[in-house]
Chain A
Amino acid sequence: MRPIKGRDYARLKLVRRLLRAMRAENTPEARSRRLLRDWLSAGQRAQFDAARNFDVTGSDSGKRYRICYGTAANIRELDRNGKEGIGWCFAPVGALVPGDVMLAQKIALETSEAATLSVANRVPLLPRVTH
């Protein structure tokens, strides 16, 4: 077989790079992040892009919660000054990826806060893990 050289080699490298980028965009995590971003408000999306978390308002109490990137123990209740207080842990059953878990948590808190927290566990406030 003839070795690939010059312009053909550059083209091949470009195609490989494009394929790698396409694969990376199609992982379960990447797809779930896209879905989550589509369902966030403009403000939540800006916060998520900047800090990998976003705030929601509970449907029953009006309390604010911060949903951080992750799948477990990733919700903090905020006080009136926006300071993080107790943590909450709940998630959909099954092995879902972070974007999906966070979207489910947003929907749950924004539409049926009390019922959601009745199944959730309180967790101590630990330093946040960043990815």
Chain B
Amino acid sequence: MATQIVMDHSGDTRHHFDPTDARASAEARRRFETLTAAGFTAAVRTRPGDVRRLTAFDPQADETVFFPRLVGG
């Protein structure tokens, strides 16, 4: 199972999907594209503590985190 974690006011909302299921994977890709188009940043862990930004949907990613656009405070 892969997970897309979208940060929100509740902490986060998690979407689990089976990457081997074409339909579930297509839905996860749509979610990725919708969120990044809305300004969210997507990132994955490459190894413990190391992170990498994603600019395109990665069907192999176990866990992808999304956070909203950054602004100066």
A contacts, CB < 8 Å to B: 27-32, 35, 39-44, 72-73, 89-97, 99-100, 103-104, 106-108, 110-112, 116, 119-121
Report yes or no: B73 in contact with A107, Cβ–Cβ below 8 A.
Answer: no
A31 contacts B12, C-beta separation under 8 Å:
yes
Q: Is the CB of A121 within 8 A of B9?
A: no
Nearest CB in chain B to that of A44: its residue: B49
Determine how close the nearest CB of chain A comes to the CB of B53; give it in whole angstroms. Answer: 5
CA distance A99 to B67 in the complex (A): 12
A110 to B67, CA, bound (A): 15
For the complex, what is the distance from the CA of A30 to the CA of B5, rounded to whole Å? 15
Closest chain-A Cβ to B62's Cβ sits at a distance in Å of 12
Among B37-53, those with CB < 8 Å from A are 41, 43, 45, 48-53
